[in-house]
Structure 1
Amino acid sequence: MVKNKNLLSQIDTLKYPIVTEKSANLFEKNQYTFVFAKQTDKKTIKTVIEFLFDVKVVKVNTFLMPKKKKRVGKYFGYKPSYKKAIVKLAFGNKINLFRDL
């Protein structure tokens, strides 16, 4: 079923899709936003998205989001940094992130 056993560990690098108003506007341009583990490279991101959603990826843009300082009462801490990936799909391909009800 899975050609590469390493692919299963690569799939685990995908955390979740980002669905905000800004990323929803990108859906019209056939671009989707996901959060990945920080060590994931563009080639792995392309492989994972193509395997999971059965689509053709044209372009992958990635960037590391910086950690953010947060305060709870008198204590300070940080929210961890993460890698955000914007994936552009080929014409005619689509990822259905929402279940049709």
Structure 2
Amino acid sequence: MKTIDPRHYDVIVAPVVTEKATIASEHNKVVFKVASKATKPQIKEAVEKLFDVKVKSVNTLVRKGKTKVFRGQFGSQSDVKRAIVTLEEGHRIDVTTGL
């Protein structure tokens, strides 16, 4: 049985399931919410080890948190870092199934 470093679970927080992410999956791309301190090499290693696939490239973005009003009180949403992972040809990840 393969050994997985527990730190990989700290890098990948959750898959992103949106309309845009679904369209990207048709082009062999998967979108994940990742830890804010995670680097591209860490994300690549975590995806390759956890899902047993070959990663071609990793692009990251940080969505800045918005200011919202809830019941007259001002609050702010947290910043969210996302990773768009492009997989090699022939590799797929089905995010609807668990690990």
Q: TM-score, normalising length from structure 2? A: 0.90
RMSD, matched Cα: 1.3
Find the aligned partners of 1:56 and 1:76 in 2 and give their Cα distance.
44
Amino acid at match of 1:87: V
AA aligned opposite 1:24: T
> What is the rounded CA distance, in whole Å, between the counterparts of 1:64 and 1:89 in structure 2?
21
Residue from 17, 35, 38 that aligns with 1:37? 35
Alignment of 1:61-72 (within 5 A): 61-72=59-70
Residue 85 of structure 1, CA deviation: 0.4
What is the match of residue 92 of structure 1?
90
CA distance in 2 between partners of 1:98 and 1:44 (Å):
23
Shift of 1:17: 0.4
Query: What letter matches 2:19 in structure 1?
Result: E
Runs (5+) with no aligned partner, structure 1 = none
Gaps of 5+ in 2: none
The 4+ residue runs of structure 1 with deviation greater than 3 A are none
In the alignment, the residues of structure 1 paired with residue 26 and residue 14 of structure 2 have an alpha-carbon distance, to the nearest angstrom, of: 20
1:70 deviation in Å? 1.1
Q: Secondary structure at the match of 1:83?
A: strand
Q: State the AA in 2 paired with 1:27.
A: S
Residue identity (%): 35
TM-superposed deviation, 1:58: 0.3
What is the SS of the residue equivalent to 1:94? Answer: coil
Equivalent positions of 1:1-101 (< 5 A) are: 1-2=2-3, 7-99=5-97
> How far apart in 2 are the matches of 1:48 and 1:11?
8
